[in-house]
Amino acid sequence: MAEKTTRDCLEHFCYGICQLYGKRYLRHPTWNNLQKIYEVHLEKHGIPGMIGSLDCRQWRWYNCPTAWRGQHTRGDQKGSTLVLQAVASYDLWVWSAFFGVAGCFNDINTLEASPLIEGYISGTIPKAGFHANGNDYEHGYYLADGIYPEYSIIVKTFSETFDEKRKYFKKLQESSRKDIERCFGVLQQRWHFIRNPCCMWHKDRIRMTMYACIILHNMIIEDDGRAICQNYIPEDLVEGTQATMEERLANAQLLRSREIHNTLKADLVEHAWAIRPIRFNSDHDEDSEEEEVEEFEDGNFEDVGLDAGENEEEEGENENETEE
C-alpha cells in the first residue's frame, strides 16, 4: 500500500479504538476501584490512600509547523515537543491521561490546564476517603516530584531530612513514585510510534493516536490478568453532579490548601514509620542458626567429636610402638 493509504488506515483505526473503548479504558476510578487501589498500594508501598503516581513526559514533534515552534520549544529540549500528563498505579494502569499541551508548558502549567484539577473542583470525579494516623481524609492523593505545588491531592517528598522518620518516608515516596516512570518506559518499548519523534501534522490526530496507544496498553494489562480492577461494571460509572459556583470556590480552596497538604504529609510520615518492617536481634539469631543448619546439611564442617578422639588414640599407639 502507499504511504498515504497506510496513514489513513492508522488514523481510522485509532479513531475506532477511541470511540469504542475510550469510555472503559480511559475512565476515572470508581469508588469500588479506589478501595482496591488503596488496598494494593498499602500492601505494596506501605502508605494508605495512594491513588497513583503523577508525572509529565515530553514527546518530540518533528513536523511541528514553523509558526508554532516558539510555543512548542523549551530550553531543556532539543526541538518542538508535546506534553503528556498521566497517572499510573502499581499495575501500570493509566487512570488519567492528558495530552496535547504545548511543549513550553512545565508540569505546573500542565496540571492547572488538565481536566484532573477541573474534575476535583467541579465535583465530577469519584472520591473515596481513607484513614491515616488517626485522621480521616475525604479523598486520595497522587505522588509527585518536587516541582508540583502543595495541593491537598499531591504528596511530595522532603528536600531535607532531619530525622529517621523523614528519611524513611523520603525513600518510600521516591521508590513508590517509580510506577509512572515504569509506565512511560513500557509505553515507549511497546509502541515505536511513541518512542520515535512524531511525523504527523495535525495535533488532533496526534492526540487521538496517543490515546489509542494508552487504551491498548490498558487492554494488554487487563488481558494478562495484572490489572488491580479486573471486573468492569458500567453501572458504577456514575458522574457526580456539577457543582455550583459557591461549591466550586469551596472545592478550589480545599484543593489548594497548604495546611491540609502539610497535615497529610505529617500523618503519612507517622503512619509509614509505625507500620514499617522492623528487624530485631532475635531475627539475626534465627538467621545465624539457619546458616549453621545449612552449612551442616551441605557438609561444610570440620571433623570434630568422636572421630577426632579415635584418631588421637591411634596416633598415640603408633608413637609408643616406635619408641619400643
pLDDT of residue 7: 84
Q: Rounded to an integer, what distance in angstroms lies between the CA atom of residue 33 and that of residue 45? A: 18
Contact between 69 and 89 (Cβ < 8 Å): no
pLDDT of residue 134: 85
**170, burial (CB in 10 Å: exposed 0-12, middle 13-18, buried 19+):** middle
Q: List the chain pLDDT tens, one digit each, 324 residues.
A: 788 898 889 889 999 999 999 999 998 898 889 999 999 999 999 899 999 999 999 888 888 888 888 888 888 888 889 999 999 999 999 999 999 888 888 899 999 999 999 999 998 888 888 988 888 999 999 999 989 999 999 999 888 778 888 999 999 999 999 999 999 999 999 988 888 888 888 888 899 999 999 999 999 999 998 899 887 777 666 666 778 889 999 999 999 999 999 999 999 999 988 888 764 444 544 555 555 445 444 554 344 444 444 444 445 555 555 554
Helix (H) and strand (E) counts for the chain? 12, 7
Query: For the chain, what are the domain ranges?
Result: 28-233+243-275
pLDDT of residue 4: 84
pLDDT of residue 233: 75
Contact between 87 and 96 (Cβ < 8 Å): yes
pTM: 0.80
pLDDT of residue 300: 47
pLDDT of residue 194: 87
pLDDT of residue 288: 52
Between the two ends of the chain, the Cα-to-Cα distance in Å is: 106
